[in-house]
Amino acid sequence: MDPFTKAVPSRPATVKETQEQVDYSLKKDEQLVKLAHSRALTGDVKANTNLKIGLSMFICLLISGWFVGLFWFIGSYFSQMQTLAEPVPSSVMLGIIGAGSGVIALMGYILKGLFKSN
């Protein structure tokens, strides 16, 4: 006696479902799988969009904090130079302009990479 005969179920002599019923069942299952797949993709897109929104808000917050600190530092420097009755050196002005434009360029580069467009 073969030991594997009990493990393999035997095919019934008569099939209870017709071919149309089997095709309908397969078509219905395929539609459900496609619907579940599109719902999963929609959920991924929503999560990705929310992540991008959060990251862009965080970057804007960091840039705003940078400029607040920069202007506070510049204001205190200018008031100190005014009390000393000395002119502000041109190198300081160039440094301020360079720092501001560098940070704005960095923010634009980060946000462009975050929201890729062709």
Domain extents for the chain? 22-114
Q: Provide the residue type at 113 as one letter.
A: G
At 81 the pLDDT is: 86
Q: Are 52 and 114 in contact (CB under 8 A)?
A: yes
State the angle between helix axes of 90-114 and 19-83 in degrees (0 to 180), rounded to the nearest 10. 170
4 pLDDT tier (thresholds 50, 70, 90) = low
95-107 mean pLDDT: 85
At 12 the pLDDT is: 57
At 87 the pLDDT is: 87
At 15 the pLDDT is: 61
pLDDT at 10 over 80: no
d(Cα 52, Cα 33) in Å, to the nearest integer?
Answer: 29
67-88 mean pLDDT: 88
Q: Are 96 and 74 in contact (CB under 8 A)?
A: yes
Please give the structure tokens belonging to residue 89.
């050196």
69-75 mean pLDDT: 88
**pTM given for the model:** 0.55
